[in-house]
Structure 1
Amino acid sequence: MKKIDSKWLVVVSVLFGTFTVILNNSMLNPTLPHFIEFFDANAVSVGWILTIFMVSMGMTMPLTGYLGDRFGKKKIYLVGLAVFLIGSLAGALSQTLGMIIISRAVQGMAGGLMMPIAMALIFQAFPKEERGLAVGVYGVAAMVAPAIGPTIGGVIIEFLPWNFLFLFNIPFGLTGLIISGKYLLSTEPNRERKFDLTGFILVTFGVGAILFALGRGSTWELLTEPLSVMLMAGGLLTVAAFVFYEQRQTQPLLDLSVFKVPTYSVSIVVTAAASIGLFSGIFLLPLLIQNVYGLSEIQTGLLFLPAALCSGLFMTLGGKLLDKKGPRYVVPPGLLLLAVSTFALGNLKLSTPFWLILLLNTVRGAGLGMSNMPATTAGMNAIPEKLVAQGSAMNNVLRQIFSAFGIVFFSIYYEVRRAQLSTTANLAANEAALQTINEAFIISSIVMVIVVPAAFVLKGQHKKTADN
């Protein structure tokens, strides 16, 4: 039997941990009504189960560059995974809703440590000309977990106590902890690296305030409440102060000079557009299938699974092509495919068959696979090796913010525009919902088309160049 290359064991190791984090979060999405009933709580209180995870994760991510350099990437990743397991056990043993929310905050902080470091560990193990395929394989977890998570969560909440939503993580997390401890490569800690306390306070408050405002802004009324406006304005001003401050530090918490590298900056723009495209589908398609066509939750889950598998396949193929030819042969075609299929979803009718929606969403998955992770890999390849951990942290923070923005924008657009069409155009409820969803998909496709020319700026060291 052929021995597995040690660098691929690194990918397997981080796959276990990050897959568990993403899967657990998506498992909880459809179970919130059960928590409302079980704890006799309102929707706002229970919504904190999801919101606190997103906020605490976003607030922790900026730290990972410093922690990885100062103490070693492997050590920080293992600490993050261990803390996630502690949060899972605490969640399973919780007796009140407040205890569950605290446990989710712990899980979010752990996930914030793990996600950026996982990417940095893969980049450490692979040479530049092989990273596309490696990140593509790793990225499968990010696509498949959200697709199967709601189904697993629904089955657990139907047949088992809710505590198993948290206990489910433990065997996978423990396996990941054992494998990671054995196969991840250790790095030499930089004990001279100083901690930028002021920068940490500024970025933590700024990112946390923005994510908190977006997390509670599911309707226009909530988003325009004085508290939300103050949080958003305060967060943006604090992030601006952070940028101003960091540019004047000799040892900044996050080295913002990476944004002077055109390929890295463009990769952030591309992944932001792809994230908006991804989350427009995650939010709008369940509304389309259930509210417009009156189909079941099982059929909704069926709609996402082929798209996730196709995305994983094309993420791997796109990564391989990225290594051989460079990003220009992968990312722009992927964005165009994503834009065209999303535009097609913006032209549905009440008579459109389910199989056609399934096909279009599967094609969208292929476009996402070719655009999202390959763009990230190209951007990370373009920056100096010593800044990979910090570049990964900033990429993940910005991805988190744009994903939250996408969900908030489309949720508000859906509520406001649907109500407007119902009253002014005298449309039936399902007709108003369909037209609103069509318009939202068209807006999403326009965002992606706008970004396509920028994707041609992406440069990369492909295999032929590396060999020469």
Structure 2
Amino acid sequence: MRRARRVVLGAGGAVVLLAALDAYVVVTVLVDVAADVGIPLNRLERATPIVTGFLLGYVAAMPLLGQLSDRFGRRPLIHACLAAFALGSVLTALSAGEVMVVAGRTVQGVAGGALLPITMALIGDLWDEHERPVALGAVGAAQELGSALGPLYGGVVAGIPATVVAGVELGGWHAIFWINVPLAALAAVAVHLTVPSGTPGERRQDAATRTHGTVNAASRVSGGTEAAPQAVGTTEPAPRPTAAAAETGAVETAEVETGGAGAVVADLGGRKESVRGGAGRRVDVTGGALLALALGLLVVGLYNPDPTESLLPPWGLALIAAGLVAGGIFVWWEIRSPVRLLDLSAARKGPLLATLAVSFLAGAALLVTMVFVQLTAQTLLGEDALGASLVLARFLAALTAGALLGGVIGRALGERVVAVAGMAVGAAGYWLMSRWPLDLESAGLVVDLDLVVAGLGLGLVIAPVSSAVLRVSPAAQHGVASAAVVVARMMGMLIGIAAVSAWGFHRFQSLTAHLDTPLPFGVDAVTYQRQLAEYTAKVQAALHTEYTEMFLVTAFICLVGAAVALMVPRAGAGVRR
């Protein structure tokens, strides 16, 4: 049975990795996608929804669809999400305009965002409390691996030569999304063969019923006659669960109680829970809708399709205010609702919120880096998608090394020290990046070293944040606590890229508003080429100013993160009693 659980873990980790790869893969080919769907290079702000659409769907769907899997079963929800993921991939690959590519990416995000909490919930079903952290760590590693490999994966796959079959483009950036279809199909087969069917409640009911039958059989054997039926609501001792039952995580204690109307109540981890089935479990649809509404209003309010005149669109302030109100209502609802999207009621609130805030700010810095280092490499260094991803690889390699190092140092010095140091080092790295010269090719190793410093700093934060959240949460809530860290980071990515890019694109438009695009009419070829070269140099200078100022803003985000990290709980501060 242990081998069977490892197979389940492998299948679950694979689907999480598939979704995580696509969360970051588009940053590599954003310029190519924008060009193919009709977005000019000097209007890249119109490409922002390609990134934010996926993230919005990912974050909004993550907690709600995780709860739906409690009601309808893990396997059907994973199958549905993989099918939707494949559909979103096809829509994206076939896109010929902005609306279709954003719609396809949003569908991908909704489907991909649900796979992580469902997989974590599946681990909660099949692993006991002692072994569960290791399995959760493996799934978390798959999520982090996707963030590290996504841009490189995109750069490599986008290198497939352009190939047109029956009028459909299969190569280039389109290949990234076409390849998701067979990958999703293979994942669906693996899930169907390995993941248990039925809802968690139904599996517990079956196991409890088997245990109850074992008790009666034992009574008949020991007494020589069949035992009299127990009255409804009585409790009878039961033998320890069998190895098979323990492997499924179905029965966690040795006491089973019979209930009315054929129901069975099992004492699970100190609480009595009905195991009639999953159909009656409530889902916090209101909370999910409020979270999606709040995030959607904020993102739309920050998106300005024409940043020439102002930082925000005409509707910006009103929608941002409405988003903040919706967010406040969401918090109010989650405090008072008996059913919550992320129930961390037993965790210590102050340390928990501080730690999640650090994850939020680190996420904002992370995605700004992934998107705008790629753009810097492609627009200022003239790299193609693969070459730009290799430039970003310096940052990603340092991020991975920092994540490993942060876990080791955090165990010795405590999460707070490492989290503060990591955000401070990240701030130093982004400050150095804000001083990059206009002629980046002449900078040599300076660019590489600065990217390494920034990546190392952000990487140091990953393990301490996850460890601190688990330490202030009870063991029974470790799965939802781990998901909360990811949700906070993804929300930081979503809001961070929307806000920072809105300011950056407005800055670029203000720097180039006075420039007149040269036209090859009424002048000789030599004059036109000279005018074009002067115009291109001024656009390059404006892009350089935009990027370096955005990295400076990111440095301030990391400084705020370092200040907030001072409130991360000290070692030894555990769960609230």
Report TM bin, short chain: 0.7 to 0.9
Task: Tell me what 1:368 maps to.
Answer: 458
Task: Tell me what 1:171 maps to.
Answer: 182
Hey, what's the Cα distance between the residues in 2 that align with 1:442 and 1:46? 22
* Deviation by residue 1:104-150 (Cα, 9 ceiling, x = unmatched): 44322211211333455567757477579646632442322332144
Alpha carbons of 1:89 and 1:410: their partners in 2 closer, same or farther (altered >3 Å)? Answer: closer
Task: Tell me what 2:142 maps to.
Answer: 138
Given candidates 12, 16, 19, the residue that maps to 1:18 is 16
Task: Tell me what 1:56 maps to.
Answer: 57
Task: Tell me what 1:204 maps to.
Answer: 292
Q: Which amino acid aligns with 2:453?
A: V
Residue 421 (structure 1) shift:
6.1
Using the TM superposition, name which of 181-190 and 352-361 deviates more.
Answer: 181-190
Task: Tell me what 1:309 maps to.
Answer: 397
State the identity %: 23
Task: Tell me what 2:257 maps to.
Answer: none
Task: Tell me what 2:555 maps to.
Answer: 445
Alpha carbons of 1:35 and 1:383: their partners in 2 closer, same or farther (altered >3 Å)? Answer: same
Alpha carbons of 1:177 and 1:328: their partners in 2 closer, same or farther (altered >3 Å)? Answer: farther
Matched, 1:401 2:413: no
Q: Which amino acid aligns with 2:561?
A: V
Alpha carbons of 1:137 and 1:320: their partners in 2 closer, same or farther (altered >3 Å)? Answer: farther
Q: Which amino acid aligns with 1:440?
A: M
Using the TM superposition, name which of 80-89 and 361-370 deviates more.
Answer: 80-89
Task: Tell me what 2:351 maps to.
Answer: 263
* Deviation by residue 1:233-288 (Cα, 9 ceiling, x = unmatched): 22221221222233222223443636743332122111122112212322332343
Task: Tell me what 1:155 maps to.
Answer: 159
Matches for 1:318-333 after TM superposition, within 5 Å: 318-319=406-407, 322=410, 326-328=414-416, 330-333=418-421
Hey, what's the Cα distance between the residues in 2 that align with 1:323 and 1:373? 10
Conserved 8 A contact 2:404-2:463: no
* Deviation by residue 1:184-233 (Cα, 9 ceiling, x = unmatched): 68883373532334334333322332233345568375863334444322
Q: Which amino acid aligns with 1:361?
A: L
- The one of the two structures with greater contact order (alpha-carbon pairs below 8 A, sep at least 6) is 1
Residue 357 (structure 1) shift:
0.7
Alpha carbons of 1:371 and 1:153: their partners in 2 closer, same or farther (altered >3 Å)? Answer: same
Task: Tell me what 1:117 maps to.
Answer: 118
Matches for 1:362-441 after TM superposition, within 5 Å: 362-388=452-478, 390-392=480-482, 394-418=484-508, 429-441=539-551
Using the TM superposition, name which of 213-222 and 187-196 deviates more.
Answer: 213-222
Residue 380 (structure 1) shift:
4.0
Alpha carbons of 1:305 and 1:94: their partners in 2 closer, same or farther (altered >3 Å)? Answer: closer
Alpha carbons of 1:390 and 1:70: their partners in 2 closer, same or farther (altered >3 Å)? Answer: farther
SS at match of 1:257: coil
Unaligned runs of 5+ in 2: 202-276, 515-536
Hey, what's the Cα distance between the residues in 1 that align with 2:327 and 2:281? 23
Residue 340 (structure 1) shift:
2.0
Matched, 1:224 2:235: no
Residue 317 (structure 1) shift:
4.3
Task: Tell me what 1:193 maps to.
Answer: 281
**Structure 1 or 2: more helix by fraction:** 1
Tell which structure's C-alpha radius of gyration is larger: 2
Conserved 8 A contact 1:218-1:412: no
Residue 168 (structure 1) shift:
0.6
Using the TM superposition, name which of 391-400 and 260-269 deviates more.
Answer: 391-400
Could you state the TM-score of these two structures normalised by the residue count of structure 2?
0.66
SS at match of 2:62: helix
Conserved 8 A contact 1:30-1:153: no
Conserved 8 A contact 1:136-1:317: no
SS at match of 1:155: coil
Conserved 8 A contact 2:95-2:101: yes
* Deviation by residue 1:330-382 (Cα, 9 ceiling, x = unmatched): 43332233222222212222455233212321332222222135413431453
Alpha carbons of 1:69 and 1:391: their partners in 2 closer, same or farther (altered >3 Å)? Answer: farther
Q: CA RMSD in A?
A: 4.2
